Amino acid sequence: MTRVEFIARLRSGLVGMPAATAAEIVADYEAHFADGAAAGRSEAEVAEALGQPDRLARELKAEAGIQRWRQEQNPSAATGAILAVLGLGAIDILFLLPFFLGVLGTLFGLFIAVIAVFIAGGFVMVVGPFAQAPGGALAAILAGLGIMAGSVSVGAILSVFTVWLVNATVWFARLHYRLLKPALEPQSAPPASGEV
């Protein structure tokens, strides 16, 4: 593989990353080729020693996703981190998918429920006083406020749990990075297995 080919494949693997970060990564590998050339190695040799550009790109992308998740804990960063980590193949998606969808579905449902309860609380607070609520107008306002406050605190607990869940997923995936393996081991015939 030539330098141009390697960089092109790396670049296409990095699509979707912030342009500045991708450019920085590409510059790293360009510098590597330049240093290799200065040390008297051919482009093919350097490319061979570097490993597969697509795999490297996936790993770098996952790292960037995790970094973003650490800096800004919002749903978009969480989705990005989880997708990038899944792209690694570090988590066996087929095995975990039912579980994952179940958890995500439950969380989503709970969030919707919390929002619904919040709105219902607001409704009780606003409409209660006019609708001759039992206990009088003040009781209805207080009850409405109470319901809203309750839903906010449940929502907060849910958010904390979701953040924790994303962190746990990222941690688990990093522990099980399979990507280093092919780059670590020279591409050789698979060892005869079954013999101890």
Q: Which residues bind other proteins (CB under 8 A)?
A: 25, 27-29, 31-32, 34-36, 39, 46, 49-53, 56, 59-60, 63-64, 66-67, 70, 92, 177-186, 190-191, 193, 196
Q: What letters, b where the CB count within 10 A reaches 16 and e where it falls short, cover 186-196?
A: eeeeeeeeeee
Least distance in angstroms from the C-beta of 165 to other proteins: 20
| Closest alpha carbon to 167 in 76, 97, 69 | 69
Least distance in angstroms from the C-beta of 196 to other proteins: 8
- Cβ-based nearer residue to other proteins, 70 or 116: 70
- Cβ-based nearer residue to other proteins, 28 or 108: 28
Q: How distant is the alpha carbon of residue 49 from its chain centre? A: 29
- What phi and psi, each to the nearest 5 degrees, are found at residue 39? -85, 5
Least distance in angstroms from the C-beta of 41 to other proteins: 10
Q: What residues have CB less than 8 Å from 7, skipping those under 6 apart?
A: 26, 29, 30, 33, 53
- Cβ-based nearer residue to other proteins, 15 or 196: 196
Q: In whole angstroms, what is the distance from residue 58 CA to residue 183 CA?
A: 13
Least distance in angstroms from the C-beta of 61 to other proteins: 10
Least distance in angstroms from the C-beta of 79 to other proteins: 19
CA angle 110, 115, 119 (to 5 degrees): 145
- Cβ-based nearer residue to other proteins, 5 or 35: 35
Q: In whole angstroms, what is the distance from residue 83 CA to residue 77 CA?
A: 10
- Cβ-based nearer residue to other proteins, 68 or 118: 68
Q: In whole angstroms, what is the distance from residue 34 CA to residue 50 CA?
A: 13
